[in-house]
Structure formats: C-alpha cells, structure tokens
C-alpha cells in the first residue's frame, strides 16, 4: 500500500506550497492595503471594478456615486471583494476574497467615522460621496510560495 506524498505540489519543476490564510491573516492584509476590486452581477454580466477602500469594524467600505452602477441597485445585493499581491521574481503571491451583502451607509455617526478615516481618493472622477459597506459572510485567503 502506498502512502500519499507529503511533498509540496510541483509546478514547472519548482516546489511550491499553497496554504490557506486564517481570518486574522486575511484581515491583516485587508487593513494594509487601500485598493481592491469589487465584483457583482449587473444585467446578467459579471462586473469587476477597482475601488479604493478602508476596513472598519470587520467590514469593507468604499465610496462611489449614487448614479453609478455600484451606487444604484447593485449596492443592495451580494458582492465579492478581492485584493492580492504577486511577486513573479520570487514565484510568490497571495489573494484574499470576501463575499457578502452590500448596502448604502446611512448612519450619520458611522459616516462621520468613515470620512475621518478615508485617506485614498477614489480614482474615478465626479462626486463620490456615497459609502457602500460590504459585510463579509465568507472570507478566504491563499498564499503560494516556493518551499
């Protein structure tokens, strides 16, 4: 009887390790960055758009326009949010994916805190005064590196 190999997965002859990130590691990465991608379905098509964001009380917040695709009805549906980083020179990378419901932020006290913490200006032009909140229901992370 053969025993399954405990060797890391081999890709192109190199030894790579793929490990899951804990929720704590995922939140650490989310808090260290300010640009990510929000994904949602709009008219039967998957849309993925870059956003500047911040993390507050285990939720993800970003600014948009009420008239835009994200600020309209999409803001009240299931969304996904992703950040990642890759170092080709080191054959290393990681990714964090969050899925959950999104909604407009209307609480005045929370809006005051968010405006006080938001540092990165949205890349898109125009009025971006509407905050959207993504409440994570599922969070996964992966780190791939050479052994």
**Does residue 116 surpass a pLDDT of 90?**
no
Task: Read off the pTM.
Answer: 0.82
**Geometric angle at alpha carbon 32, from 28 and 36, rounded to 5°:** 105
pLDDT digits (tens, 9 = 90+) for 21-74: 999 999 999 999 999 999 998 888 999 999 999 999 999 999 988 887 887 765
The token duo for 69 is 């695709």
Q: How far apart are CA 31 and CA 41, in angstroms?
A: 26
Fold adopted by 22-146? Pnp Oxidase; Chain A (2.30.110)
């Amino acid at each position: 009887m053969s025993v399954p190999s405990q060797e890391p997965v081999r890709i192109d002859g190199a030894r790579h390790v793929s490990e899951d990130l804990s929720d704590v590691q995922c939140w650490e990465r989310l808090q260290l960055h300010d640009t990510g991608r929000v994904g949602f379905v709009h008219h039967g098509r998957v849309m993925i758009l870059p956003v500047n964001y911040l993390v507050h009380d285990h939720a993800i917040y970003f600014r948009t326009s009420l008239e835009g695709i994200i600020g309209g009805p999409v803001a009240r549906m299931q969304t996904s949010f992703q950040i990642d980083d890759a170092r080709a020179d080191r054959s290393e990378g990681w990714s964090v994916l969050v899925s959950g419901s999104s909604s407009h932020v209307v609480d005045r006290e929370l809006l005051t805190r968010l405006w006080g913490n938001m540092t990165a200006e949205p890349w898109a032009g125009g009025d971006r005064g509407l905050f959207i909140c993504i409440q994570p229901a599922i969070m996964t992370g992966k780190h791939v590196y050479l052994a």
